């Protein structure tokens, strides 16, 4: 009996972990959990509500050589402004936030 190539491809994707996985969301975590995952991983992309996300780092070692860090606060399940670590930014870029 021959197995179709489509079935083999599907099995290969599942076996290699190529199936999309949801990113952790800060709105579903306690502040300590969100800060802890950034500290433990060093750098991680976290959902920050709805369809928004960002990359957070524990310190400058996880940024490009030309970048600096800026403090990052996010909404978590227990606090509206939780310090989770930093974002990488170019030294002469504008601060994040509303730009009109």
Segment 48-88, tens digit of pLDDT: 998 999 999 999 999 999 999 999 999 999 999 999 999 99
The helix/strand/coil state of 5 is helix
> pTM to 2 decimals?
0.72
Non-local CB neighbours of 95 within 8 Å, separated by 6+ positions: 70
């Amino acid at each position: 009996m021959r197995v179709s190539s489509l079935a083999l491809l599907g099995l290969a994707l599942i076996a290699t972990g190529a199936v999309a996985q949801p990113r952790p969301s800060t709105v579903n975590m306690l502040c300590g959990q969100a800060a802890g995952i950034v500290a433990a991983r060093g750098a991680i992309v976290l959902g920050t509500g709805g369809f928004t996300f960002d990359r957070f780092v524990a310190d400058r070692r996880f940024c490009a050589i030309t970048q600096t860090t800026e403090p990052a606060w996010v909404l978590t399940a227990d606090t509206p402004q939780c310090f989770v670590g930093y974002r990488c930014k170019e030294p002469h870029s504008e601060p994040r936030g509303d730009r009109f």
